Structure 1
Amino acid sequence: MNQDPIEQIEINLRAETLNQRKEALDELAEFPAEIAVPVLQRLVSERDFGLRRLAVMGFGNYTTEASFQTLKQIIEQEKDPNVLAEAANSLFEFGDRAIPILQKLFEVSNNWLVRQTVISLLVETDCYEILLSVATLALQDETETVKQTGISALGQLLKSSVKDRALDLLAQLAGDENWRSRWKVAYALQNSQDLQARGLIAKLQQDENYRVVAAALEVASDWGEK
């Protein structure tokens, strides 16, 4: 007697090898939400964080209310940063209604992976005020990569309605004691050619660190300046 395909997929989702699990997830994606979502909901209750991460990946294939509510609950209760980061990616598929949840996730999390994931997602939106708020918080993060991601986000905002506030923050960071921050600022400024940005690039071309100088010269060259 042939086994029910969904039962087999559930077994394969819990297989030992990652390839088998991913193949099963791809197979599950061929089924409608009313069949697939309950399977994913059962999977997300597993103790193995790898299985929970697999489940939240699957929810991104189904933009249903059940999927949304499950992902929202995961983000509120999950402790593992790998699962949370993946849940953020899937929740982003739900559009604007996901943005406040992602903002709150950034604010309550102190994990670098979660925070970088949220910023990277918000950069893809036109929620400029929220991105500015999140990027400003990122500047205070003790993890250097999170801070640099925040600086890059400010650079993207130089093409938005909050460009003046973003540029003011970059101007402050141009004098940061950490050369990595000043280096990142130089590249962030390539998105603006107003007088303040040009002045900052000129200043960074005189920086004490050669990497910062090189970045500033590269941006100036891209602008067609010497």
Structure 2
Amino acid sequence: MTEASPQPDLGALRDAIASGDPVRAMPALTQLRFCEAEDAVPLLVLGTEQKPFLVRSLSCSGLGYKRTEQGWDVLSRLLGSDEDPNVRAEAANALASYGVERSWPLLQATFTADGAWLVRCSILSALAEQPEIKLIWLLELAQAAITDGDGTVRVSGAEILGRIVRDGINKPIGAEARALLQPLQQDVDHRVVAAALNGLQVS
């Protein structure tokens, strides 16, 4: 540790996080970035057990950076059970950071089961940001996203289809994505139309 970032007082951080008061807990959770995973994860898990959703959400984010098996288990449970979509969305984002091969089955199932637009958009963006994700997986998600009742989710789906058109140019999967984009030019949401037109501009 450098003098600029001394080892935080774990006891004081635990007390602040356990208070459940966001004004005290949020800065304490932020301080955990200076700690080793073995010290930080138990306190992040404690944060996921607090009542304010902001505290649980930030704790999930931290578990995406301090990755351990305990963190994975806690995030997986919260993804399927937390009452607040903000927390579930942050859990999804954190799980993706454990690697696309591992997180894909869980996030795919959650995308199907969880109708909250925030959760769905988080899954779409988190997986799309993974450079090693397979285009066929992205196509599967995008196909589901463009049928969503929420325009924001459909926009994300259209943007992913546009990426598949670009990355899969001169391949069957690129043509399939292009075919899915065509009808979106008539979507009721102008944002979806714009995303579709943008995706179709690839020659």
The TM-score with structure 2 as length reference comes to 0.83
Cα distance in 2, alignment partners of residues 28 and 139 from structure 1: 39
Shift of 1:64: 1.5
Alignment of 1:120-131 (within 5 A): 120-125=125-130, 126-131=133-138
- Give the aligned CA root-mean-square deviation in angstroms: 2.0
Given the alignment of the two structures, is residue 55 of structure 1 paired with residue 59 of structure 2, yes or no? Answer: yes
Cα distance in 1, alignment partners of residues 153 and 12 from structure 2: 41
Given the alignment of the two structures, is residue 44 of structure 1 paired with residue 48 of structure 2, yes or no? Answer: yes
Q: Which residue of 1 aligns with 2:4?
A: none
Q: Which residue of 2 aligns with 1:108?
A: 113
Q: Which residue of 2 aligns with 1:188?
A: 199
Q: Which residue of 1 aligns with 2:161?
A: 154
Shift of 1:66: 1.5
Shift of 1:38: 1.3
Alignment of 1:64-143 (within 5 A): 64-96=68-100, 97-125=102-130, 126-143=133-150
Larger RCO, structure (CA 8 Å, separation 6 or more): 2
In the alignment, is the contact (CA less than 8 A) between 2:163 and 2:199 conserved in 1?
yes
Alpha carbons of structure 1 residues 185 and 36: separation in structure 2 relative to 1, 3 Å = same
Alpha carbons of structure 1 residues 95 and 177: separation in structure 2 relative to 1, 3 Å = closer
Shift of 1:17: 5.1
Cα distance in 2, alignment partners of residues 48 and 182 from structure 1: 38
Cα distance in 1, alignment partners of residues 38 and 187 from structure 2: 55
Indicate the structure (1 or 2) with the bigger Cα radius of gyration: 1
Q: Which residue of 1 aligns with 2:5?
A: none
- Count of equivalent residues: 187
In the alignment, is the contact (CA less than 8 A) between 2:151 and 2:189 conserved in 1?
no
Cα distance in 1, alignment partners of residues 197 and 99 from structure 2: 32
Secondary structure in 2 matching 1:60 = helix
Secondary structure in 1 matching 2:34 = coil
In the alignment, is the contact (CA less than 8 A) between 1:123 and 1:156 conserved in 2?
no
In the alignment, is the contact (CA less than 8 A) between 1:53 and 1:82 conserved in 2?
yes
The sequence identity of aligned pairs, in percent, is: 30
Structure 2: gaps (5+ residues): 1-7
Secondary structure in 1 matching 2:167 = coil
